[in-house]
Structure 1
Amino acid sequence: MKRTISALALFIFIAVTNTACATTRKHFRDTSDKASMLDTLKYDSLMKKLANGDKSGRWPVKTKEYPLQGAILPFNRIIAFYGNLYSKNMGVLGQYPRKTMLNKLKEEVKNWEKADTSTNVVPALHYICVTAQADAGRNGLHNLRMPFSQIDTVISWAKSINALVFLDIQVGFSTVQTELPLLEKYMKMPNVHLGIDPEFSMKEGSVPGKRIGTFDADDINYVTGYLAKLVKKNDLPPKIFVVHRFTKRMVTNYKDIKLRPEVQVVMDMDGWGGPELKKGTYKYFISEEPVQFTGFKLFYKNDLKNEPHRMLTPKEILSLKPAPIYIQYQ
C-alpha cells in the first residue's frame, strides 16, 4: 500500500513539475520574444519624422520587413570621422593625432545633440581600409589594402570612446566580390560596419581619379546578401552599409536594390562645395532616388573653397527632406 501511494505521489509530483517547467519555459520564451522584438511603433514614428513632411510619397521608404532587433537606425544618428592613418589629406581621421581627433569628434557629437535633442547621437570612425591608387601596384588592381594592424588600431581607438567603426572600400580595378571576403573577420564584429565608394570602382578601365566610377544594384545586392548571411550565422545585430554618391551614374539601377532585415542601407551624399550646390546634389541623387536611409558628408576644407566659404550647419541639414541619419566629416 505504501509503495502504491509513493508511486502515485511520484506520478503527481512529476506531472506537476512538468506542468510547472512547461509554464516556466513558455514564460521565458514569451519574455525572450518580447525582449527580442523591435519596437515597430517607434520605428515607424521615427521614419516618419525623418521624412520631414515629404509630400512626394518617396519618404519614408516602404519596406516589406522591419530590421532585426538591435538595429541602430533610425533610433540613433551617427556622426563619423572619415580618413586613413597613412594620409593627412584623405580626411580628418588621419589628419590629427589620436587624442586631438577624438576630442574633435566628441565636440561634433555635442553639436548634433544640441541640434536635435530628440535623437541619440553615436560617434563613429569611418576608415578607408582599401584605397584606390593611380599606380597599378603589385596586384595590378590600382588599390592598396591597409594592413590589419592599422584596422586594429582604429578599432581600439573607437573602443576608447564607445564608437562604431566603418571599414570603407575603394576597389579600383578590383570588385566588392573580391575585397569584402578579405574583411570577414572584422565584419563578424558587432560594432564594425561597411562602406563602399563607387567613385573609385573603375569598371571601364580608367585610372582612379581620372573619371568617376560606378557600382550597380547587383554589386550592392551582393554586399547586402553577404552581410545578411554573416549576421544570421553569427547572431549579430543588423549591419549598416554606407554607399557614397554624388552623381547619377555612381549608382545604377537603384530601384533593383534589395532591402534585407539584416542590413541597413545608407545612401551618403558625398559631394563637396557650397551649401546650395550640396543641397542640390542631395535632392537629385539621394532624395529623388530613395533606397532606405540617407547620409550627408561635410568637408572641413573643400566645402570652404568657394563662395560663401562655409559649411552647412546641423540645423540646415536637419531641414532636408528626408533628414540624414548618418553624418560624415572629411
Structure 2
Amino acid sequence: MQLKKITLLTLLVASATSLVFFSSCDRSGKVSAASASVNGKASANADAENLQGSSEDEPVKKIDPEANIPYEPIKIDTSGKWIVKGPKPLEGAILPDKRIIAFYGNLYSKKMGVLGEYPTQEMLTRLDTEVKKWEAADPKTPVQPALHLIIVTAQGQPGKQNRYSLRMPYKMIDSTLSIAKKRNAIVFLDIQVGHSTLKDEIPLLEPYLKLPNVHLGIDAEFSMKDGSVPGKKIGTFDAADINYATEYLQGLVKANNIPPKLLIVHRFTQRMITNSKDIKLRREVQVVMHMDGWGPSSLKRDTYRRYIYKEPVQYTGFKLFFKNDIKCGKPIMTPSQVLTIYPQPLYIQYQ
C-alpha cells in the first residue's frame, strides 16, 4: 500500500481551506460568547475560571463494556492526576506515569503548526525548551517528548476520489520518525478524514502503527458525516468511530506483542463527540480526550470543564497555541497555570 504522492505546490492544507469565524475581544481581553470556530477555537462562555465545579458537576460513573465492571467515580490523587478505576493498562503503558509534551503540525506546511513551521533543529530546540518548563513545573512527573504529525489533511476540494482529504506520502512519516529519534520522542499520526472514514484510513497506516513508538490521533473537527465541506462547519465522531479505532489498535498490540497504544481524540464542542458514554476502554489502548480549543485562558478552562471534565473517558489532554492563544492580548498559559486545571492533563499539545 502506498499513500498518494504529492508536491508542495499541490498540497492544500486544512489551515488554508478552513473557514474561521474570528472571535472578538473586549477590553478585558475575553472572547465574545457568540464566537465560534473551526480548526481549534473553543465555544462560548469565557467567564468560568474555576474548574473545580459545583455539586451539579459530580463525575458520572462509567461502565467497562468488555468486563462489565462498574468504574468508581473519577478521583483525584494527591498529585492532581485523574484516576479512573477500570481495565489496568498493560506493561509498558506511558500513562499515567509520564506526561506527554507534543509538537503538532505537518512537515509540508508552516501554517498548520510548530512541527512544520521551523527548520528541524530549531523546532527541536523549541521542543526542548517546553519540555524543560514542564519538568520544572512538575518535577515528580517525567516528560515524554512527542511529535504529532497530521498525515491525512482535510481539504476544501473533493479531489479525484471525492474524499475531501489528502493522504500524505509515507516518506513524511519516515522523516518524522528520523527526527523523533533525535529526542527519543514518540510519534502520533493524526487523521482528518473529510468525507472518508476511519475504516478507510487507519488500515493504510498499519505498517507504522505496528511500531512500538507510533500512536494515533483522530480529529472530529474534520469528519463531515453530513456531507459538508471541511472548514465550513465543525464535524463529528460517534463512540462507534472511536470504538473502531481502539479495537483496531487493540488488535495490533495483541498481534505484535507491543506496548499499549495511545489514541488522541480532538474535542472542543459538545457535538464533536456523540455518545461518549458508549466508548469502550481496552487494556491495550489508552484514550485521551484532548481539549483542542484556542483563546484566552478563561475560555480554554471553560471549554475543558464543559466537554472534557463533564464527559470523562479515561485520560485528558490540553492544547496550547503559540499564536492563536495570544490573539486577545493575553499570554499563552504557562505549565504552572495548566497544572491548576482539574484534573491535570497528561497530554499537552503545542501548535
Unaligned runs of 5+ in 1: 1-45, 53-58
Whole-Å separation in 1 of the counterparts to 2:261 and 2:225: 26
Post-superposition CA distance 1:178-235 (Å, at most 9, x none): 1000000000000000000000000000000000000000000000000001000100
2:227 pairs, out of 205, 211, 219, with 205
1:48 pairs, out of 63, 74, 77, with 77
Unaligned runs of 5+ in 2: 1-74
Pairs within 5 Å for 1:221-236: 221-236=243-258
- 1:296 paired with 2:325, answer no
2:273 pairs, out of 233, 251, 255, with 251
Q: 1:86 is matched with which residue?
A: 108
Whole-Å separation in 1 of the counterparts to 2:155 and 2:198: 16
TM-score by length of 2: 0.77
Q: 1:70 is matched with which residue?
A: 92
Post-superposition CA distance 1:58-113 (Å, at most 9, x none): x53231x2010000001110000000011101000000000000110011000000
Post-superposition CA distance 1:29-78 (Å, at most 9, x none): xxxxxxxxxxxxxxxxx9734656xxxxxx53231x20100000011100
2:84 pairs, out of 61, 66, 82, with 61
Quote the offset at 1:240 in angstroms. Answer: 0.5
Preserved contact between residue 50 and residue 321 of structure 1 (Cα < 8 Å):
no
Q: 1:315 is matched with which residue?
A: 336
Whole-Å separation in 2 of the counterparts to 1:170 and 1:50: 34
Quote the offset at 1:161 in angstroms. Answer: 1.1
Q: 2:304 is matched with which residue?
A: 282
- 1:115 paired with 2:137, answer yes
Q: 2:350 is matched with which residue?
A: 329
Preserved contact between residue 76 and residue 343 of structure 2 (Cα < 8 Å):
no
Preserved contact between residue 126 and residue 167 of structure 1 (Cα < 8 Å):
yes
Q: 1:127 is matched with which residue?
A: 149
Regions of 4+ moved over 4 Å? 49-52
Q: 1:14 is matched with which residue?
A: none
Q: 1:10 is matched with which residue?
A: none
Whole-Å separation in 2 of the counterparts to 1:134 and 1:155: 28
1:157 pairs, out of 154, 173, 179, with 179
Q: Which has the larger radius of gyration?
A: 1
Post-superposition CA distance 1:250-309 (Å, at most 9, x none): 0000000000000000000000000100000000000111000000000000001014x2
Whole-Å separation in 1 of the counterparts to 2:204 and 2:161: 15
Q: Which has the higher contact order (CA 8 A, sep 6+)?
A: 2
Whole-Å separation in 2 of the counterparts to 1:227 and 1:130: 18
Preserved contact between residue 321 and residue 332 of structure 2 (Cα < 8 Å):
yes
Whole-Å separation in 2 of the counterparts to 1:204 and 1:62: 36
Quote the offset at 1:129 in angstroms. Answer: 0.2
Q: Secondary structure at the match of 1:295?
A: strand
Whole-Å separation in 2 of the counterparts to 1:47 and 1:149: 42
AA partner of residue 83 (structure 2): P
AA partner of residue 106 (structure 1): D
Q: Secondary structure at the match of 2:83?
A: coil
AA partner of residue 188 (structure 1): K
TM-score by length of 1: 0.82
Structure having the higher helix fraction is: 1
RMSD of aligned alpha carbons: 1.2
Quote the offset at 1:139 in angstroms. Answer: 1.6
Residue 311 and residue 247 in structure 1: after superposition, are their counterparts in 2 closer, same or farther (change >3 A)? same
Preserved contact between residue 61 and residue 290 of structure 1 (Cα < 8 Å):
no
Q: 2:283 is matched with which residue?
A: 261
Q: Secondary structure at the match of 1:241?
A: strand
Q: 1:166 is matched with which residue?
A: 188
Preserved contact between residue 303 and residue 311 of structure 1 (Cα < 8 Å):
yes
Post-superposition CA distance 1:103-128 (Å, at most 9, x none): 10011000000000000001100000
